[in-house]
Structure 1
């Protein structure tokens, strides 16, 4: 089921305002759970987790910054 432009815009705001901070807390908890590795390994974990959250939510953010395609132009 495809999301409309307005639905994608609303969901992107929900993800950025609620989901992303929660994901940051989870990512920091994961790194702390493995007893604070070296700085390079920690950086690689954060970069990997940073890309990991993009994969399932990519379709929500595609085209959100563009003008509404369903809007009538007069």
Structure 2
């Protein structure tokens, strides 16, 4: 099912305003739990994990963000 342009824009805004901060809290909590459980990772490994977590959140949402910055294709043109 294809989402309409307006629905994708609203969903993208919801994801960025609510979902992304929640994901950041979960990711940092997970990293702190790992630090407490297994000890501190080397800095290069920590950077790699944070970079991976920073990219992974967007992969399943790629279709929601695709074309959101473009003009509405369904709008009437003069």
Could you say whether these structures have the same fold, taking a TM-score greater than 0.5 normalized by the shorter chain as the test?
Answer: yes
Report 1 or 2 for greater relative contact order, CA contacts < 8 Å, sequence distance ≥ 6: 2
Structure with greater Cα Rg: 2
What is the CA RMSD across the aligned residues, in angstroms? Answer: 0.8
Normalised by the length of structure 2, the TM-score is: 0.90
- Match of residue 38, structure 1, among 17, 38, 42: 42
CA distance in 1, matches of 2:48, 2:26: 16
Aligned to 2:73: 69
Normalised by the length of structure 1, the TM-score is: 0.94
For the residue of structure 1 that corresponds to 2:15, the secondary structure is: helix
Aligned to 1:54: 58
CA distance in 1, matches of 2:9, 2:75: 14
Unaligned 5+ segments in structure 1 are none
Unaligned 5+ segments in structure 2 are none
